[in-house]
Amino acid sequence: MTVLAQPASDTVRTVDLAWRHLARQRRLYSILGFGGLALALVGSLIFADESNAGHFVDRLPHLFDFLSWLIPHDWMDVPRALFDLPTPADNGTLEYNFPDGRVELGAGFYLPEYFYLMLITINVAMVSTIIGFTGGLLLCFLAARNMMPSFLVRSVVRRVMEVLRAFPEIVIAGLFAAVLSIGPVAAIIAVGLHTIGALGKLYFEVIENIDMKPDEGLKAVGANWIERVRFGALPQVMPNFVSYAMLRLEINVRASTIIGAVGGGGIGEELKLSISRGFGPKTIALIALLLTTIIIVDQISAYVRRKLVGDAAFLIHG
Amino acid sequence: MTDMTLTLEQRYPAVFKQSVLKRFAPLIALVAVVLYLFYAVWFFALPSVISGGKWDRLGDYMQQWIAYDINAEYRLDGPTIVGKYPRFSVLGADPHPDWLVPREGGYTIELGGAGQSVTFTKTAATLTNAGQSVDLDLTGAEVRVLTQDLPSWFVVKSGEAIADMGFVGDVRVSPDRVKFRKRAFGWPNFLFDINSPFFGKSAGEVTSLLVSGPDLVPGTSNVALAANNIWFNAQWQHGDVWTKLLQTIVMAFAGTLIGAIVSFPLAFFAARNIMPNKPVNQIIKRLFDFFRSVDMLIWALFFTRAFGPGPLAGIGAIALTETGTLGKLYSEGLENIDDKQREGIASTGAGVITTQRYGVLPQVLPVMISQTLYQWESNTRSASIIGAVGAGGIGLKLWESMRTNSNWSNVFYMVLLILAVVFIFDNISNALRTRLIGKVQH
């Protein structure tokens, strides 16, 4: 800028002025933008603090209170809770009744309760991912511009997907819990329907980006719509589809844990009870199990995705 | 034809001679999935769960989303026939609806017009549905049916005559009373509940009252009174619902923003090209993984214990999860930048901060903002769910309304609000992202 302090000619002076003007304007917009954002954040926090049961400043010193109940007196209680082994601390309360939940397999073998609950949650996630994959696969070709010429069909299918995606899962879970009694099947339906919408959207976007030459070739030899989908589009999109389904599996493990916590059974419900009652060893055992499972599922999914579509699988929503 | 196949096979041997595993991989995967589904059907005991389900409830509850019931009974054992409506009936304490037609010594209640109705006096009743009528004699201790051919919608159970008229409701007649449930489409009292002075007035009447009418409550303008009545509507609880909805929006917004603010500087330390210190990279990356994997639910449960139920818990949970997710995304973005610009700025003798500001930030900021907007969008949806475990917002209210199984129209009202919010925020975030990085990425 010091160089331009004494501009050599009128042209340079004009450019200099215009640049300064632009820079000033940009700075003003940035300041306004950041100021607005900061204001909105402060306003949000004040609003949240006022409508919360406990206030932030009052409760802040108690933030780490959970350590007092979470840290077990005897760290061996954590593996005991995990594997349903009896503990010397057993005083008849729910906190230490580790062997109570064993799922007997016969011949003296048993499946520890938490592993069984984790299995329920994993199964909910897997079944609902399969439902979502199948539903999304069936719907997506009807929603893609290049495969479905009819505007009407396309927009109807897209609206259906949007509603499935945005409809709160807990409402579907609650509705089916009233019909089927509370349990994992209601959770499967809720998570599965949501997955159909979520995967369907990703899938039709993939289809709209395919190479249309195979499709033209098939059209030229007189293939019908189903044959064009099967031999023209499907081979191109399948790796991506499976990759997205694996990504969805990661999300669904978390989603079915949450749905479990609001009454869908599985490990989520047990975790919610354990934390709200302040059972230290049980909570640590549950979190450890959940965390391990999530990491394993994430790793498997990442491996499969890398095999199928390479590093492109790791670009966000790409 | 054979020759052509041969040449093709010779030209592209790889296509025709794949390994067995590769050729049958899709089939194997399909068989595995089908076998797994059989196992899942057994694991969840699906046949017994499905057949044990109370499927009639599904239709019933879904009708209640957009319809309402009026339950009432008319006592026949007093000196005159007296109608009794429940205290919180949507019609108010003493209704005279147009479907209640006075007759000689009794009434006709038209559940679905004259074709689906019950006419009764103190001694006799006639049920009409689907083009057929059933006459009842109420003089004895038990109901006596006078009609010979009984239609399928009519039964007598433990001294009570029951007519199920389908969607419009049902009628139960015994010698001392006529009880009915009338169902109709709509959301009654959506603006004014039965305690409001505006209750039962037509839109025109309300408008004229608002514009020029005398004050209904002295000292308060009619507009303020109407607004107050709507906000504190006891049946629909607009005030509470909208406050909770705002809490959910605030949770998603503040949580995502705090997560972004915290993870932004950390991401620079996690990126190995910017911070060439392996242990620091690894520690911060593992920290991100931890925040992300522990999951929003667990954080929400912990914060609910710490701060008590409410949006603060939700903000905390979203902020911690987002710190992990956005930190990972940001640091991956930083690791993929073009190092030449940074080197160029550094070679002019710029300080560390200046180098990042002019050499790195311009490259990554649009992508970072886009990723943040995307997370904000998805958190708006998650915020309504984690609310149900006590983290505040509309989720909890939704869950409470559902547990009672009686207030499905309120549930549907909240669902519509959530759908609208998700839709609006999706569009805002989409528009902002398109402006930032163009239409290439979705």
Domain of residue A37, residue span: 3-50
Calpha distance B210→B223 (Å, rounded) = 6
Same domain, A27 and A167: no
Chain B hits for A66, CB-CB cut-off 8 Å, are 302, 305-306
Q: Which of B313, B311, B318 is nearest to B294 (CA)?
A: B318
Same domain, A9 and A145: no
- Whether A211 contacts chain B with CB within 8 A: no
- Preferred mutation among B247, B285, B293, B369 to probe A, highest tally of A CBs within 10 A: B293
| DSSP 3-state percent helix, strand, coil across chain B (nearest 5) | 60, 15, 25
Nearest-by-Cβ selection for B247 from A51, A167, A291: A51
- Whether A268 contacts chain B with CB within 8 A: yes
Kindly list the structural domains of chain B, giving each domain's residue range(s) and its CATH number in brackets, ordered by start: 68-185 (no CATH), 189-228 (no CATH), 238-437 (1.10.3720.10)
Same domain, A129 and A242: yes
Same domain, A118 and A18: no
Q: Decide if A74 is inside a domain.
A: no
Burial class (CB in 10 A: 0-12, 13-18, 19+), B284: buried
Chain B hits for A126, CB-CB cut-off 8 Å, are 36, 40
Calpha distance A116→A103 (Å, rounded) = 7
Q: Decide if A85 is inside a domain.
A: no
CATH of the domain at A281: 1.10.3720.10
H/E element holding A185? Answer: helix A184-208
User: Quick one: angle between helices B278-307 and A234-259, nearest 10?
Assistant: 50
Give the pLDDT confidence score for residue B442 in this predicted structure: 42
Q: Decide if A226 is inside a domain.
A: yes
Q: For chain A, what is the domain count?
A: 2
H/E element holding B377? Answer: helix B361-386
DSSP character string of B388-438 = GGTT-SHHHHHHHHHHTTS-HHHHHHHHHHHHHHHHHHHHHHHHHHHHHH-
Beta-carbon contacts of B118 under 8 Å, excluding residues fewer than 6 positions away, are B108, B109, B111, B125, B126, B127, B128, B163, B171, B173, B178, B180
Q: Which of B281, B260, B221 is nearest to B373 (CA)?
A: B260
Give the pLDDT confidence score for residue A178 in this predicted structure: 84
Q: Which residues, given as ranges, of chain A have pLDDT below 70?
A: 1-8, 311-318
User: Quick one: angle between helices A169-180 and B361-386, nearest 10?
Assistant: 30
Give the max Cα distance, chain B.
107
Chain B hits for A318, CB-CB cut-off 8 Å, are 441
Which pLDDT tens digits describe chain B residue by residue (442 residues)? 556 666 777 777 777 777 777 778 888 989 999 999 999 999 988 888 888 888 888 888 888 888 888 888 888 887 888 887 776 666 766 666 778 888 888 888 888 877 888 888 888 888 888 888 888 888 888 888 888 888 888 888 888 888 888 888 888 888 888 888 888 888 877 888 777 777 777 788 888 887 777 777 777 788 888 888 888 887 788 888 999 999 999 999 999 999 999 999 999 999 888 888 889 999 999 999 889 888 888 889 888 888 888 888 899 999 999 999 999 999 988 988 888 888 898 899 888 888 888 888 888 888 888 889 889 888 988 888 888 888 888 888 888 888 776 678 888 999 999 999 988 988 888 888 888 776 544 4
B110-145 burial string, b = 16+ CB within 10 Å, else e? bbbeeebbbbbebebbbbbbeeeebebebeeeebee
Calpha distance B37→A220 (Å, rounded) = 39
By the 8 A CB rule, do A187 and A262 touch? no
Give the pLDDT confidence score for residue A248 in this predicted structure: 92
- Preferred mutation among A170, A244, A299 to probe B, highest tally of B CBs within 10 A: A170
- Whether A262 contacts chain B with CB within 8 A: yes
Q: Decide if A19 is inside a domain.
A: yes
B293·A178 Cβ contact <8 A: no
Region of B364 (left: φ > 0; alpha: ψ -120 to 50; beta: rest) is: alpha
- Whether A179 contacts chain B with CB within 8 A: yes
Same domain, A140 and A277: yes
End-to-end CA distance of chain B: 46
Q: Decide if A145 is inside a domain.
A: yes
Chain A hits for B295, CB-CB cut-off 8 Å, are 254, 257, 290, 294
Comparing alpha-carbon positions, the chain B residue that sits nearest to A64 is: B306
**Which three-class secondary structure state does DSSP give residue A122?**
helix
Same domain, A20 and A146: no
Calpha distance B336→B332 (Å, rounded) = 6
- Whether A116 contacts chain B with CB within 8 A: no
Calpha distance A271→A77 (Å, rounded) = 16
Q: Please give, rounded to a whole number of angstroms, the shortest distance from the CA of B197 to a CA of chain A.
A: 30
Calpha distance A178→A186 (Å, rounded) = 9
CB pairs under 8 A between A and B: 189
Same domain, A174 and A274: yes
Comparing alpha-carbon positions, the chain A residue that sits nearest to B384 is: A168
Distances (CA, A) of B329 to B190, B252, B262: 45, 18, 13
Give the pLDDT confidence score for residue B249 in this predicted structure: 92
Q: Decide if A274 is inside a domain.
A: yes
Give the pLDDT confidence score for residue A164 in this predicted structure: 92
Q: Decide if A8 is inside a domain.
A: yes
ipTM of predicted assembly, 2 dp: 0.82
Chain B hits for A53, CB-CB cut-off 8 Å, are 307-310
The number of residues in chain A equals 318
Nearest-by-Cβ selection for A48 from B254, B305, B403: B254
Give the pLDDT confidence score for residue A316 in this predicted structure: 44
Same domain, A29 and A132: no
Same domain, A35 and A124: no
B40·A63 Cβ contact <8 A: no
Token pair of B294 as six digits = 């522990």
Query: Which of A12, A27, A50 represents a domain boundary (last residue)?
Result: A50
B371·A316 Cβ contact <8 A: yes
Q: φ and ψ at B353, to 5 degrees?
A: -65, -45
- Whether A29 contacts chain B with CB within 8 A: no
Neighbours of B61 (CB within 10 A): 19
Q: Decide if A56 is inside a domain.
A: no
**Which three-class secondary structure state does DSSP give residue B226?**
helix
Nearest-by-Cβ selection for A41 from B257, B294, B403: B257
Chain B hits for A291, CB-CB cut-off 8 Å, are 293-294
Same domain, A138 and A245: yes
- Whether A184 contacts chain B with CB within 8 A: yes
A48·B52 Cβ contact <8 A: no
B44·A188 Cβ contact <8 A: yes
Query: CA torsion, points B325, B331, B336, B338, in degrees to nearest 10?
Result: 140
The number of residues in chain B equals 442
